[in-house]
Structure 1
Amino acid sequence: MAVKKKFPYRSALVACNGGCHVQEGQSCENGCIGCGICVSVCPFQAIVINENGVAQVDEAKCVACGKCVRECPKQVIHIHECANYIVVRCSNRQNGKEARQVCLASCIGCGICEKTCTAGAIKVTEHCAVIDESVCLSCGMCVVKCPRHVLTDLRGIIC
């Protein structure tokens, strides 16, 4: 189903990549728990629970109505500008050592992305990278340098 979107194009984004579900018996206290509430409240069927057990948004179907953002019990969904392809797929707030023990792909707050970003769009806050989309150039240097692959290019071009 095609949806008419308003410019600037926005979409919901789940700030979790599901890496914590890889380690049996553990989960990130700040990540998506795959409860499906967002799936049930989305009027456009734009959200599914993926193979990693976390919510995933189809940008083509999402109109950024914000229902999933308001209903998410873990507050890991936010609205982002679709023109910005670079996103942080983590909502970790634990220090690096603790984060590594629970999630194979969590942000550890190392700051490499912050140092690499020539636009000054990335800041590490509470042990997790945060991108200021109004400043980000989507150049992808942070994606290339991130040792944990937490920063992602939604287009799949930069790995």
Structure 2
Amino acid sequence: MAVKKKFPYRSAVVACNGGCRAAEGETGCKDGCIGCGACVNKCKFGAISINEYGVAEVDEEKCIACGACTKVCPQGVIHIHECANYIVVKCSNKKKGAEAKKQCEVSCIGCGICEKTCTAGAIKVSDNCAVIDESVCLSCGMCIVKCPRHVIHDLRGIFT
């Protein structure tokens, strides 16, 4: 059983939506979750499962942020997230624009709209993918509202 956490707490997050699962063969994303299950097998708390899209998904209530899953992920798409900030980017695709769109129906295309929208300066586009500096983010949700590809998510479910 997981340890009860104090606020703010940490949890693992998978930076992949699974939209690339819609694309078959070589057109699929090479940067996202491959659904291998290594993280599921490594997690001693039963906090990770493979969802209907074939992508690892973390149950925040069970996760104690031990980091075991981050170490075994062959794609490097799992990271430990400070849950005082509920805004996350659910994509790891490094391709730009049209190529990213071909690979995944919900991939970041590196357009920079989120970066321009963020009044706190918490979002930067790096390697054609949005990255949030959790220590600066205000969790206002403007990036979620403006993202044309719906790549940025609110873990609370408020901005859906």
Q: Same fold (TM over 0.5)?
A: yes
Q: Letter of the aligned partner of 2:5 in structure 1?
A: K
| Distance in 1 (alpha carbons) for counterparts of 2:154 and 2:7 | 21
> Do the aligned partners of 1:114 and 1:120 also contact (CA within 8 Å) in 2?
yes
TM-score (norm 1): 0.96
| Distance in 2 (alpha carbons) for counterparts of 1:117 and 1:9 | 24
Q: Letter of the aligned partner of 1:145 in structure 2?
A: K
Q: Letter of the aligned partner of 1:54 in structure 2?
A: V
Identity of aligned residues (%): 74
What is the match of residue 89 of structure 1? 90
Q: Letter of the aligned partner of 2:46 in structure 1?
A: Q
Q: Letter of the aligned partner of 1:30 in structure 2?
A: D
TM-superposed CA distance for 1:112, in Å, is 0.2
TM-superposed CA distance for 1:23, in Å, is 1.9
SS in structure 1 at match of 2:24: coil
TM-superposed CA distance for 1:6, in Å, is 5.2
**Worse-matched range after superposition: 71-80 or 22-31:** 22-31
What is the match of residue 15 of structure 2? 15
Q: Deviations over 1:78-131 (max 9, x none)?
A: 000011111000011111121111100000000000000000000000000000
* Structure 1 unpaired stretches of 5+: none
Q: Letter of the aligned partner of 2:155 in structure 1?
A: L
SS in structure 2 at match of 1:13: strand
**RMSD of aligned alpha carbons:** 1.1
| Distance in 2 (alpha carbons) for counterparts of 1:77 and 1:31 | 10
Q: Letter of the aligned partner of 2:4 in structure 1?
A: K
What is the match of residue 117 of structure 1? 118
TM-superposed CA distance for 1:33, in Å, is 0.2
* Structure 2 unpaired stretches of 5+: none
What is the match of residue 159 of structure 2? 158
TM-superposed CA distance for 1:7, in Å, is 5.3
What is the match of residue 4 of structure 1? 4
> Do the aligned partners of 2:23 and 2:104 also contact (CA within 8 Å) in 1?
yes
| Distance in 2 (alpha carbons) for counterparts of 1:14 and 1:2 | 19
| Distance in 2 (alpha carbons) for counterparts of 1:157 and 1:2 | 25
> Do the aligned partners of 2:96 and 2:128 also contact (CA within 8 Å) in 1?
yes
What is the match of residue 100 of structure 1? 101
| Distance in 1 (alpha carbons) for counterparts of 2:2 and 2:12 | 16
Write out aligned runs for 1:10-159 (5 A).
Answer: 10-25=10-25, 26-159=27-160
> Do the aligned partners of 1:3 and 1:60 also contact (CA within 8 Å) in 2?
no
SS in structure 2 at match of 1:123: strand
| Distance in 1 (alpha carbons) for counterparts of 2:122 and 2:57 | 24
